[in-house]
Amino acid sequence: MKSNKRLQQRLRFRRQTRSKALTATSVINPIHLKISVRLKAIAELHLQALFISLQRIFLTPFTSLMTIMVLAIAIASAGGFYLFLNNIEQLTKHFNTTNQISLFLKNQVTDQEAQLLVNRLQQMRDIQQVQLMTKDQALTEFKQASDFAAAIDSLDYNPLPAVIQLFPKTNDIQLLENLRSKLNQLSQVDVAQIDMQWLRRLQSIIELTRRCVNIINTLLSLAVLFIIGNTMRLSLENRREEVLVCKLLGATDAFIQRPFLYNGFWLGFCAGGLAWLMISITLLLVKSPIETLATLYQTNYQIIFLSFTESFLLLFISALLGVFGAWIVLYFQLKQIKPE
């Protein structure tokens, strides 16, 4: 009997605490409850539109596949031009002769002093590699490369100076010019020389290539927008009666736009994934010949692929172009569809 009474008391206490908690939450947090319900309803509507738009793509597989293929070719072309520019810029860094600085030392500088200067230059952060050619090495190389060996042997002294070859870490023209001026002020240096004309030509070509790539990628992005926009326009025309019925029932333009926007998202996202696959396969096909050619030119060059961040940006920009292209067309087309 006592156990039954205790059980009944516990049940009453739980009922009272539950009723008090419900009344407290209904009195204190009605706004929070409404916001949570609204957010849950909005999330359910978006998820429903997301999966319905994906289902519509599978209902028309041939048309959707053709559209995705055209979009993927345009996106892959833009990504390919971007990687081409990155590989060209990376390739120029392996040509150390483009930014090589030659320091012609004064005749009175001995080989020991030249070696001390080399050790000093190797400590500089702007310089990647330093090579010393002594007077004797310069004389031997000159005899082998010219027909004046007999004339040189007739001299009582070595007229050729020691030469230090520097390979800076940068290809920037202004930084190289500042470095050359700084090296030219050294007491052991007679002349600091660099082929700036050739370097300016190389950087002008790279800058021209960069601008051309940016223009082409902009045009390809516009092509993606127009293709998706035209696809959404045709889809809207095919569902014109459905849209009219929705407007008669009081649906807003935002509600009608939602599945079309997600349709553009899926088209752009799938096209971006297919474009990434096209770019990767193309790079794998040309990787071996390019690396073989680089080996023949005695350079340790490896082709650059899309990184994880760049791959994510490719998918994100593709999906964003799909949504934006669909929104532009829907914004103007829905205003023209009015129930009579």
Residues 6+ apart with CB under 8 A from 83: 279, 283, 304, 305, 306
299-325: pLDDT as tens digits: 777 888 899 999 999 999 999 999 999
Residues with Cβ within 8 Å of 81's Cβ and at least 6 positions away in sequence, in order, are: 213, 216, 217
CA–CA dist 298, 56 (Å, integer): 55
pLDDT digits (tens, 9 = 90+) for 184-243: 888 888 888 876 677 777 778 888 999 999 999 999 999 999 999 999 888 888 888 888
Asked whether residue 71 carries a pLDDT value surpassing 80, the answer given is yes
How far is the C-alpha of 138 from the C-alpha of 115, rounded, in Å? 15
Cα distance between residue 38 and residue 44, in whole Å: 10
SS3 227: helix
101-194 under CATH 2.60.15.10, yes or no: no
- For residue range 84-122, list pLDDT tens digits in order: 988 888 877 655 455 688 888 888 888 888 888 888 888
Q: Tell me how crowded residue 339 is: count the other CB atoms within 10 A of its CB.
A: 10
Confidence of residue 80 (pLDDT cuts 50, 70, 90): very high
Of 71, 131, 61, 148, which Cα lies nearest the Cα of 97? 131
**Residues facing residue 69 across a β-bridge:** none
Contact at 8 Å (CB) between 334 and 256?
Answer: yes
Tell me: the pLDDT tens digits for 245-274?
A: 877 877 777 778 888 888 999 999 999 999
What ranges do the domains of the chain cover?
44-93+202-336, 101-194
Residue 42's pLDDT is 67
| Residue 20: per-residue pLDDT | 44
Cα–Cα distance measured from residue 192 to residue 120, given in angstroms and rounded to the nearest whole number: 16
Contact 328, 229 (CB under 8 A): yes
DSSP-derived pairing of the beta strands 127-133 and 189-194: unpaired
Edge-to-edge order in the sheet of strand 163-168: 127-133, 163-168, 101-105, 189-194
Contact of 71 with 192, CB cutoff 8 Å: no
Q: 164: burial class by Cβ within 10 Å (0-12, 13-18, 19+)?
A: buried
According to the model, what pLDDT value does residue 314 have? 94
